[in-house]
Amino acid sequence: MSSPYATLPEFEYARPSTLEEALKLLAKYGEEAKVLAGGVGLITFMLERLVSPRIVIDIKKIPELRRIEYTEGKGLVLGAAARISEITRYMDSNPRVREKYRALYEALSRIADLQIRNRATIGGNICEALPFMDSYAPLALFDAKLRIASVEGERETTITDFVKGPGFLDLAPNELLVSIELPDPPRESRSGFSKIVPAIEYSVASVAMLVANPVDPRSREVRIAVSAATPAPIRVREAEEVFRREGDIVDLLDAALDRMTSAIKELVIEDPYASAEYRLEMLKVQAYILFKRLLDSFLQERG
Amino acid sequence: MGGAVVREYRYIGKRIPPRDAFDKVTGIAPYVYDMELPGMLYVKLLQSTQPHARIKGIDYSKALSVSGVVAVATGRDFPFRIGIYVGDRDLLAIEKALWVGHPVAAVIAESPRAAEKALDLIEVDYEPLQPVFDPIEAMKPGAPLLHPDLGKYRISPAFKPRPGTNIANEFRLSKGDVDKGFSKASVVVEGEFSIPFMSHVYMETQAVIAHYKPNGYVDIWSSAQSPFSARYLLAMSLGMPVGRIRIHVPYVGGGFGGKAGLGWEPLAVMLSKKAGYRPVKLLFTRSEQMRLAPVVAGVKAWGKLGLDKEGRIVAYQARFIFDSGAFGDYTVNVSRTAGYACTGSYEVDNVECLSYAVYTNKIPTTALRGFGYPENHWVLERLIDMAAKKLGMDPAKVRSINLLKPGKSKTSTGARLREDAGDPQRVLEEVIGSLGWGREPSSTDKPWKIRAKGFALSVKGPSQPPDASSSAIIKFNEDGSVDVMVGTGNFGQGTVTSLAMIVAEEFGIPLDKVHVHEMRSTNDSAYTWQTVGSRGLFTDGSALLEAIKDAKSKIKRVASAVLRVSEDHLEIGDGKVYVKGKPWHYIPLERIVMGYLYENGNAIGGPIIGAGRHIAELNTFLDPETGQGTPTIFYTFGGTGVEVEVNVLTGEIKVVKAVQVFDIGKAINPLLVEGQMIGGFVMGQSRALYEELIFDEMGSVANPNLSFYYVARAKDMPDEWVLKIIETPQSDGPYGARGIGENVMIAVAPAIGNALYHGLSVDVRSLPLKAERVWRAIREQNPKLYKEALEAVKRSIRESYKKLREALVVAR
Ligand SMILES: Cc1cc2nc3c(=O)[nH]c(=O)nc-3n(C[C@H](O)[C@H](O)[C@H](O)COP(=O)(O)OP(=O)(O)OC[C@H]3O[C@@H](n4cnc5c(N)ncnc54)[C@H](O)[C@@H]3O)c2cc1C
């Protein structure tokens, strides 16, 4: 993430004002085009000569890509070019929405610093395709639908299907991520996000968790998603299923987190910044602490 | 001068904001990085992709054909070596590339873009050689040699390289008889310690503009700490007359030792010549800075300490292996200093300390704030706590028993400590008092977070040649204001603010009538050897006081004629020269400093200029066999205490309280001293907890950026500060002052290490104390603690659940 070069490679620049125009440009240039949203990632990649696009297509001025909208019953819709700080600000002025999507809010509001959050977009964060992108675990948690468009039409996918691994997306050169839709989470649910950032800029193990109706075995729901420790985000359904068994939620927690560990063990990243062993254990430790925090948050609101 | 007399001061001792603050906050401060000259060209360096290779050929024909490219240079153009202590550096790789990142060619072009484009078109034909990355491997016979010609390099007298090996310097301190000492020990502790390579991470990366002019004069603008020694070394290396070189230094965006000695000036000068005598600019991106400019050596150390049953240190032995990377030029002196000052603040009769600087195929290294002391303190201050525990004695008591006694004790180098060197016992008392050592740390509301306390002491003196000198010039202006010309640098310490305060104090003039120009040049500033070693205020301040005295006596000579009293009966203060006892007989300074004009038009005197100098007194070379002698002009004693909060489950450490205590003789400006104490602590904390250059299997820096090389930020600062300044004046320091710039960071790492040791029974001897390392140590050394913490979390989950269920029942 840093470069011996001080100048960018030469490129052409286009700033379409409609989605249609942008898709046409993408269709025309394909592999030779790169989409620019906030540019926080792209400019660095270009400085490092990791990419040298012939044309840079700036999507910031396309109004429909800047949307941030919550509709009761339908959920939250985020345009791909909505900035991180715009999203958190929207949530701050709509506390009910913020609490519904608390895990996403916690993740986004702790990305980098304010300057970067003012530029970086949610779509850029998703499409940067590095394991430690903070939007991943919460988007997996809330069953987010990603809308992808090209001149040929539109399709819908999920974050776990879309992000395949470091630098690897299920995205054709002529396609654009248009929006992210987060359906309403279960009523009266609580969610949160936790990451470990040990002496680097990015997380080495992130957990997002959601709990609904914890004391009612029939209606309760627990969701767990992880990222940063694994090459791509994972919704850990094996662990979630444990909570459908009989018994008190607290009696199932150990078994669920053991399932989580065994389900993802083989996938965990090992690098100079954190061992696989540490990452795996940190997922578990954070899951316990997060679970406690969520239980407490049910209590707090009841006074 | 001298601080023995208690005086009421107008400026000295007052909390006055640094002079450069306005310029920096408003963005008008000039830096070389931002400077442009007419006709200037831009340089870009091609980095080696091989850790150790013979360069068979470099084809830059394609590069030359890029429009805007003026010239390409390679090592062949500059077949000579340069340096300050061991002249082992090349300008561009000569025959061999020695690390991944080693500059092998330089493109000079009309624009950075053209230079970078051309860079990609240069082809280098390498013949790979066996590399060596580990300093211990590199010391073994038969290891691949980086510098087969080491015996032919120019070596400064204090250093002993071993030609035919990778040892750039070997130093031995020997005093008493360690075997005999250990035989009297009740407890002996020993251990291996390590410190990683680090980057200085000054804000402004290296930047230099050089203009070799057709008339043989050279002008250089450099982000340098030490323009005078850079000029001298440059002249020696290039065989040029010193006086033809001018180095201009504007504001410098941080240095921390990394911009001391000789920097990139020689390369820039030669490239300017090569480009047809046009000015050239060389500056580094952060990545270049961290892959090709000198960083800070990694250290592998070993220490062994023996205490008798009373807690007296009976013997100490240590070995430091500094991994100097491909060039050891400055690191040889860092390693030597770590060796000769190995016994820290304590009196030890039987000592043997060996230190080495060893070449490896990694990025070269240089000085860093602290200069060998953080390294030797990381070993000694940890061993003392380990030995104390083994003996069942309070580590504060062990320290107290062994502390150097000014006027009585002999230091590691056998020099008797001057009687006004400070009050180490009081430092210790203040540290443990402020820390509440002996009282349990406060508990936290999270059962998996534990608080712990630790402390360490530190000492630091400048490591300089025995004849290192400084000077100062002051000259008056028509309005009675003063221009101060000093050589000492201005890269964040605030020394110039304190120097201005001294001038204002001595003449009794308003502070805003004292001017220190931000642009220093070797031809119009007074000489100073270097701005390093915490010496600036002590040496240049002393020279300044002499210059003030000189100017005062010149003023008095004129005033004596005008006021008709002898010079002895005149006093200068309040911006006046006046008769002692009859202050109403006076002349305002502005009426005399440019010459005094009588009513009839006669005039006497003339513009007043004062000059002063300082040179180390009674320092000696160290004995080449035993390391004995007098190496420093002062030692500053200090100590650091910490209370940390450790997340037992994640290994994360948060410093909640920092205690900093230093006996600096006199705080000329306590605000700036506290700035050093805070900044130094955070830097020490950053080195202790986070900073580490990571190398891949090619010995290449894998994290040459600030995303993966983490430096402490505002959010990492301790919650609570206790800053204590002790003032035991040293008679030959300005107003009694000693240096403070480096000591402030030395004890931080051992204090944190000791806190883990006492509070968690976890002993970590490798820096940095990164979360995973601490987590692993807890799991291995104190698994019960980890288990209990996890159980505590689970228990609290059950409690929360119980409450929640009860609340729901009530709600229904
Ligand atoms: C100092 C620093 C600290 C950081 N810290 C964090 C952190 O703590 N947590 C974290 O998650 N991230 C962090 N990041 C990464 C940062 O969040 C991302 O770089 C940013 O979110 C990218 O968004 P952008 O809008 O700037 O994307 P851009 O740079 O514009 O684009 C990024 C990539 O996505 C592609 N792209 C963008 N939009 C679309 C689209 N709609 N459809 C298809 N492709 C698209 C681009 O072509 C490019 O390849 C940090 C970055 C920096 C520099």
Report the pLDDT averaged over residues B442-454.
93
Answer whether A123 contacts ligand 1 (Cβ < 6 A): yes
User: CATH assignment of B295-464+620-779, given 2.102.10.10, 3.40.50.12780, 3.30.530.20, 3.30.365.10?
Assistant: 3.30.365.10
Contact between chains at B804 and A292 (C-beta distance less than 8 A): no
pLDDT tens, residue order, chain A (303 aa): 456 899 999 999 999 999 999 999 999 999 999 999 999 999 999 999 999 999 999 999 999 999 999 999 899 999 999 999 999 999 999 999 999 999 999 999 999 999 999 999 999 999 999 999 999 999 999 999 999 999 999 999 999 999 999 999 999 999 999 999 999 999 999 999 999 999 999 999 999 999 999 999 999 999 999 999 999 999 999 999 999 999 999 999 999 999 999 999 999 999 999 999 999 999 999 999 999 999 999 988 644
Among protein residues, the one with the nearest Cα to ligand 1's atom 46 is A35
Determine the Cα–Cα distance for residues A134 and A111; give it in Å rounded to an integer: 7
**Ligand 1 proximity of A138 Cβ (cutoff 6 Å):** no
ipTM of the complex: 0.96
pLDDT in tens, B233-273: 999 988 999 999 999 999 999 999 999 999 999 999 999 99
What residue spans of B420-535 are helical by DSSP H?
424-435, 495-507
B472 alpha carbon – ligand 1 mean position (Å): 53
Confirm if B322 and B96 have CB atoms less than 8 A apart: no
Range of the domain at A146: 63-183
- Angle (deg, nearest 10), helices B536-563 and B495-507: 20
Share of chain B above pLDDT 90, in %: 95
Q: How far is CA B512 from the centre of its chain?
A: 30
A99 lies in the same domain as A46: no
- Would you place residue B333 in the very low, low, confident or very high pLDDT band (cuts 50, 70, 90)? very high
CB of A124 within 6 A of ligand 1: the answer is yes
| B812 confidence band (pLDDT: 50, 70, 90) | low
Q: What is the DSSP string of chain A?
A: ---S-SSPPP-EEE--SSHHHHHHHHHHHGGGEEEESS-TTHHHHHHTTS---SEEEE-TT-GGGG-EEEETTTEEEEETT-BHHHHHHHHHH-HHHHHHTHHHHHHHTTSS-HHHHHH-BHHHHHHT--TT-TTHHHHHHTT-EEEEEETTEEEEEEHHHHEEETTEES--TT-EEEEEEEPPPPTTEEEEEEEE--SSSS-SEEEEEEEE-TT-TTT-EEEEEEESSSSS-EE-HHHHHHTTSSS-HHHHHHHHHHHHHHHHGGG---BTTB-HHHHHHHHHHHHHHHHHHHHHHHHHHH-
Can you tell me the distance from the alpha carbon of A287 to that of A284, in angstroms, rounded to the nearest whole number? 5
- Whether A37 and A81 have beta carbons less than 8 Å apart is answered as yes
Matching residue, tokens 């390579």: B197
The answer to whether A203 and A228 have CB atoms below 8 angstroms apart is yes
Ligand 1 pocket member A162 (CB < 6 A): no
Domain ranges of chain B: 32-129+206-283, 295-464+620-779, 469-615, 782-811
Ligand 1 pocket check for A282: Cβ under 6 Å: no
Average pLDDT over residues B471-494: 94
3-class secondary structure, B322: strand
Interface A-B, measured as beta-carbon pairs within 8 A, has a size of 106
Cα gap B47→B70, rounded to integer Å: 19
Taking contacts as CB-CB distances below 8 angstroms, the residues of chain B near A282 are 650
Predicted local distance difference test score (pLDDT) of residue A53: 97
Nearest residue to A127 (alpha-carbon basis) of A88, A179, A72, A91:
A179
> Which of A4, A196, A273 is closest, CB to CB, to B650?
A196
Q: Is A177 in the pocket of ligand 1 (CB under 6 A)?
A: yes
Q: Cα separations (Å) of B177 from B124, B166, B182, B497?
A: 55, 29, 9, 48
pLDDT level of residue B1 (50, 70, 90 thresholds): very low
Please give the average per-residue pLDDT across B502-515, as a whole number: 97
How many other C-beta atoms lie within 10 A of the C-beta of residue B561? 14
CA distance linking residue B789 with residue B783, whole number of Å: 10
Structural domain includes residue A155? yes
Is the distance from CB of B227 to CB of B191 less than 8 angstroms?
no
If you take atom 12 of ligand 1, which residue's CA is the nearest one?
A133
What phi and psi values does residue A169 have, to the nearest 5 degrees? -120, 155
B186 — alpha (psi -120 to 50), left (phi > 0) or beta? alpha
**Is B2 a residue whose pLDDT tops 60?**
no
Tell me whether domains B295-464+620-779 and B469-615 share a fold. Answer: yes
Q: Which two tokens stand for residue B595?
A: 């010459």
- Asked which of A134, A158, A183 is the last residue of a domain, the reply is A183
Co-location of A46 and A67 in the same domain: no
> Please, what's the largest Cα pairwise distance for chain B?
106
**Cβ–Cβ contact A291 with B under 8 A:** yes
Which has the closest alpha carbon to B268: B78, B398, B414?
B78
In a domain, A275, yes or no: yes
| Co-location of A171 and A199 in the same domain | no
Q: Quick check: CB of A179 below 6 Å from ligand 1?
A: no
Short-list B334, B323, B328, B313, CA closest to B412: B313
Which of A155, A183, A211 lies at the terminal end of a domain, its last residue? Answer: A183
Rounded to 5°, angle at Cα B530 from B528 and B533:
125
Q: The domain that contains A284 carries what CATH number? A: 3.30.390.50
Q: Where are the alpha helices (DSSP H) in B508-578?
A: 536-563
* pLDDT value of residue B519: 81
Nearest CA owner, ligand 1 atom 5: A112
Question: Taking a C-beta distance cutoff of 8 angstroms, is the pair B275, B71 a contact?
Answer: yes
Distance A264 CA to ligand 1 centre (A): 26
Assess contact for B786 and B648: CB atoms under 8 A: yes
Q: Are strands B218-222 and B245-249 parallel, antiparallel or unpaired?
A: parallel
The bridge status of strand A205-212 relative to strand A221-227 is: antiparallel
Domain topology for B32-129+206-283: Aldehyde Oxidoreductase; domain 3 (3.90.1170)
Q: How many CB atoms lie within 10 A of CB A168?
A: 11
Q: Which two tokens stand for residue B731?
A: 């008679």
- Return d(Cα B743, Cα B667) in angstroms, integer: 15
**Residues B97, B325: Cα–Cα separation, whole Å:** 12
Question: To the nearest whole number, what is the mean pLDDT of chain B?
Answer: 96
| Alpha-carbon distance values, A121 to A14, A38, A42, A55 (Å) | 18, 6, 12, 20
The residues facing B82 across adjacent strands are B89
- Going by C-alpha positions, the residue among A197, A237, A245 that lies closest to residue A220 is A245
pLDDT in the model for residue B433: 98
Ligand 1: centre distance to CA B120 (Å): 27
* Partner residues linked to B654 by β-bridges: B645
Using an 8 Å CB-CB cutoff, list chain A residues near B701. none
Ligand 1 pocket residue status of A121, Cβ below 6 Å? yes
CA dihedral of B155, B161, B167, B173, whole degrees rounded to 10: -120
For residue range B604-632, list pLDDT tens digits in order. Answer: 999 999 999 999 999 999 999 999 999 99
Distance (Å) from the C-alpha of residue A224 to the closest C-alpha of chain B? 17
Q: Which of B113, B288, B772 is the closest to A4 by Cβ? A: B288
pLDDT at B445: 87
Which residue of A2, A15, A35 sits with most ligand 1 atoms within 8 Å of its CB, as the best mutation to test the pocket?
A35
**Chain centroid offset of residue B369 CA:** 2
Among the atoms of ligand 1, which is closest to the Cα of residue A110?
A: 8
Q: Is the CB of A127 under 6 A from ligand 1?
A: yes
Structure tokens, B668: 């000329």
- Block residue for tokens 């484009």: B117
- Which three-class secondary structure state does DSSP give residue B117? helix
Smallest Cα distance from B294 to chain A, Å? 16
The reply to whether residue B285 touches residue A6, judged by beta carbons under 8 angstroms, is: yes
* Domain total of chain A: 3
Residue A130 Cα to ligand 1 midpoint, Å, equals 9
| The predicted structure's pLDDT at residue A1 | 41
Q: Which residue in A285, A291, A294, A302 has the most chain B C-beta atoms within 10 A of its own C-beta, making it the best mutation to test that interface? A: A285
Are A284 and A227 in a shared domain?
Answer: yes
B469-615, what's its fold? Aldehyde Oxidoreductase; domain 4 (3.30.365)
Identify each DSSP E strand in B563-692 by its residue range: 570-573, 576-579, 582-588, 594-597, 603-607, 609-615, 636-647, 653-663
Q: Which ligand 1 atom sits closest to the C-alpha of A178?
A: 41
- The pLDDT-based confidence of B5 (bands split at 50, 70, 90) is low
In a domain, A179, yes or no: yes
A127, A168, A204: which to mutate for ligand 1, most atoms within 8 A of CB?
A127
pLDDT of residue B547: 98
Burial category of B193 from C-beta neighbours within 10 Å (exposed 0-12, middle 13-18, buried 19 and up): buried
B688 contact residues in A (CB cutoff 8 A): none
Closest partner CB to B286 (pick from A2, A196, A282): A2
**Does the beta carbon of A22 lie inside 6 Å of ligand 1?**
no
Which atom of ligand 1 lies nearest, measured to the CA of A65? 41
Give the closest-approach CA distance of A12 to chain B in angstroms: 16
Instruction: Name the residue in chain B with its Cα closest to that of A298.
Output: B804
Q: Which residue's alpha carbon is at the smallest distance from atom 38 of ligand 1?
A: A124
What is the sign, positive or negative, of the torsion defined by CA atoms of B712, B715, B716, B719?
A: positive
* Residue pointed to by tokens 């001897």: B765
Beta bridge mates, B587: B577
CA distance B236 to B710: 38
Q: Which residue CA neighbors atom 9 of ligand 1 most closely?
A: A111
Alpha-helical runs (H) found in B184-275: 227-238, 265-274
CATH of the domain at A32: 3.30.43.10
Tokens of B316: 């100490």
Strand partners, B55: B126
What local confidence, expressed as pLDDT, does residue B349 receive?
Answer: 97
Of A153, A183, A213, the one marking the end of a domain is A183
Distance, CA of B113 to CA of B117 (rounded, Å) = 6
- Look at B775 and A214 and tell me if their CB atoms are within 8 Å: no
In angstroms, the CA B504 to CA B486 distance is 15
Residue B14 three-state SS: coil
- CA–CA dist A138, A124 (Å, integer): 16
Mean pLDDT value across residues B160-165: 97
Residue B811 confidence class, pLDDT cut points 50, 70, 90: low
Number of the ligand 1 atom closest to the C-alpha atom of A197: 8
Q: Do B112 and A248 touch (CB under 8 A)?
A: no
At A130 the pLDDT is 96
Given this model, what pLDDT does residue A2 score? Answer: 52
Q: What is the mean pLDDT of residues B43-48?
A: 97
Helix residue ranges per DSSP H, B660-782: 670-689, 743-746, 748-760, 771-781
